[in-house]
Amino acid sequence: MKTKKTYAVFGLGRYGIAVARELVENGMEVIAVDTDEKIINDVASFLPVCKCADVTDVEVISRLGIGNIDTVIICMASNFEASVMAVTLCKEAGVKTVIAKCANEMQQKILFRVGADQVVFPENESGIRLAKNLLSSGFIDMISLSKDVSIVEIDVKDEWCGKNLIELNLRKKYGFNIVAIKNGGEVNVNINPEQVLNAENSLIVIANTLKLGRLK
């Protein structure tokens, strides 16, 4: 049984390298792909699995086994046509989560239309931050306040539904300080500890970064 999530990063510019390197340094299995052989040679020392290949080719996607990858991050915003093709081929191959980098809102709309599950603007989200969010299972977003402390938005787990914060005692169990409860677009900072949580809620907490893995 596979226990560790697998990732593929297509396009090894500055952003793609940052994502791939952060994932690898945290022990994840990562396939890094670019069409430039020089780039592949340059990153091989810190990205163990590197391939020089054209990910707009359906046979390449099949040969690399991309259909068995949990999450593919497509970092080829400078070649938008290739990004669109890569998103399409990955979804057709059965990849559960495809994240694509884009350059503007029009590209964002198109990438969502062809099947991307998440689209990021590099000027708004660094590659390292994206990787940290991927590593933090069950987290919607994470912002580092310092090396040791982060503000994290967390999905309400299935086993938390139907219970209130008093019953769950999350502060004792995970060391989290809950600062708000979200319900859709509404953020409530006046927390009622007796409020029953449901699947539509998410929690905004301040947490020790080193303890985030407890939720995995």
| Low-confidence winner among 35-39, 117-121, 204-208 (lowest mean pLDDT) | 204-208
DSSP helix/strand/coil, 131: helix
Token reading at 179: 């600062």
Q: What does the pLDDT average to over 114-127? A: 74
pTM exceeds 0.85, yes or no: no
Q: Which amino acid would we find at residue 164? A: N
Residue scoring higher pLDDT (36 or 131) = 36
Question: How many residues appear in the chain?
Answer: 216
Instruction: With a cut of 70, say whether residue 133 has pLDDT above it.
Output: no
Instruction: With a cut of 80, say whether residue 122 has pLDDT above it.
Output: no
Enumerate domains of the chain plus CATH numbers.
Answer: 6-135 (3.40.50.720), 139-215 (3.30.70.1450)
Exposure string (b/e) for 106-126, b if CB count within 10 Å is 16 or more?
Answer: ebbebbeeebbbebbebeeeb
- Band (pLDDT 50/70/90 cuts) for residue 3 is low
Looking at 11-152, list the stretches that DSSP marks H as alpha helix, in order from N- to C-terminal side.
14-25, 37-43, 58-63, 80-93, 105-113, 127-135
- Band (pLDDT 50/70/90 cuts) for residue 1 is very low
DSSP helix/strand/coil, 191: coil
